[in-house]
Amino acid sequence: MGCFFWCSRNSNKKKKSDSNDPKAQVVIGFKAIAQDQDYNPSTPSGYSHVCNAVSSSYFHIGGVICSLADASTFNRRSDCKKDVNGKGKENEHASPSSSAKAPNIKVESNTSSSKVRIFAYQQLVDATENFRSDCFLGEGGFGRVYKGQLADTNKVVAIKQLDHNGLQGIREFVVEVLILSQTDHPNLMKLMGYCAERDQRLLVYEYMPLGSLEHYLHDKRPKQKALDWNTRMKIAAGVARAIEYLHDKMKPPIIYRDLKCSNILLAEDYHPKLSDFGLAKVGPVGEKTHVSTRVMGKYGYCAPEYAMTGQLTFKSDVFSVGVVLLEIVTGRKAIDNTKDAGEQNLVAWARPMFKDKRKFGQMADPALKGGYPIRGLYQALAVAAMCIQEQPNMRPPVSDVVTALNYLASQNYDPQLHSFQYQRTS
């Protein structure tokens, strides 16, 4: 989110008139939001009333022209902050969402390639038949997600509606629109458009018919077939490529900060795509080694140094990639309180086992029933072990992870040729 700065040649020059210029105050206020800083135009600290009233102000944010029109306030909404023990606590700077007057947000691409639409609220009401219960797909921190069909194109879409009492709000909405309107990668969710009409905030995505990876690993329906080894490696490689794109191809680079199985959605043929960019943050550039920010994300996936200090680096995402890879290989949850004390935290359970190759077979998901290549299992676990190193400088760059997982995904495993393996190991 820190990437959404005022992008001009004079952005680093402070003007004496900024304190009296309402448009400049909006820009400064948005920069404060992006950097998780406290800002108030009239007081030295605090987060309420970040932006002064402006009738119309346009400014560049990460290559997109953003307008906050008729905004009397731009209050920060409630965030759920995770402490190092995984317990949620409400951000002390959060303002009650019910008291905030939401600004009308307009994002206009300054490139001809943008295909993000602006929807009227009534269009999305019609698409979901007034958000009918049988169109309901799921619910997250932002709000409820519905399946809908656009009347003008007959295209089936997923529509995410902001819950005004939820854990996320206007800030995450803006970040999601700004990032996804600029990305173009096969492993990132495609944003079809958005609605910012009155107090309504909705995001419209391509529909992902297979749901999330979480459903296939941890919430399997009765008689649902387990993911085979080839599919698992294909998903892992796709996730790593998405993170590589954010780190190495985006300008400025982005730290995703919220990698978990529920945010990995699956298209036809189990093609993985990352979703939910509301917690994304700009990465360190130049000589900076990290960015300091409030600890966000799901417990069990956060890198230890980030959870302890709030210092976020690209290697924080690499740690999360390692946790997800472990989930894919083992079928276990990152945190599972139903297991014995020594097995509740996946990383803590796995680390001692990495020291003995003879235990690698015990780490494979029992649902695979031995349907995996021994060498491939060892290599996948070796990649995961490198990603979850305690010290961030010991973790590989995500580009190296991509190289390794692309190789594993390319090695097609035929279980019929190795059918004896399960009988021998079981």
d(CA 208, CA 270): 10
DSSP labels for 115-149? --EE--HHHHHHHTTTT-GGGEEEE-SSEEEEEEE
Q: Which amino acid is at 78?
A: S
d(CA 33, CA 35): 5
d(CA 56, CA 38): 24
Provide the CA 200 distance to its chain's centre, in angstroms.
22
Q: Identify which of 379, 375, 385 has the alpha carbon closest to the alpha carbon of residue 355.
A: 385
Active site residue 38: no
| H helical segments located in 181-303 | 213-217, 229-244
**Is residue 193 a contact partner of residue 247, using CB atoms and an 8 Å limit?**
no
**Is residue 270 a contact partner of residue 213, using CB atoms and an 8 Å limit?**
no
Strand order across the beta sheet in which 58-61 lies: 58-61, 64-69, 104-109
- Taking only Cα atoms into account, the Rg of the chain, rounded to an integer number of angstroms, comes to 22
Residues belonging to the binding site for ATP are 160
- Of the listed 258, 276, 317, 365, which one is catalytic? 258
Q: Which amino acids are annotated catalytic?
A: 258
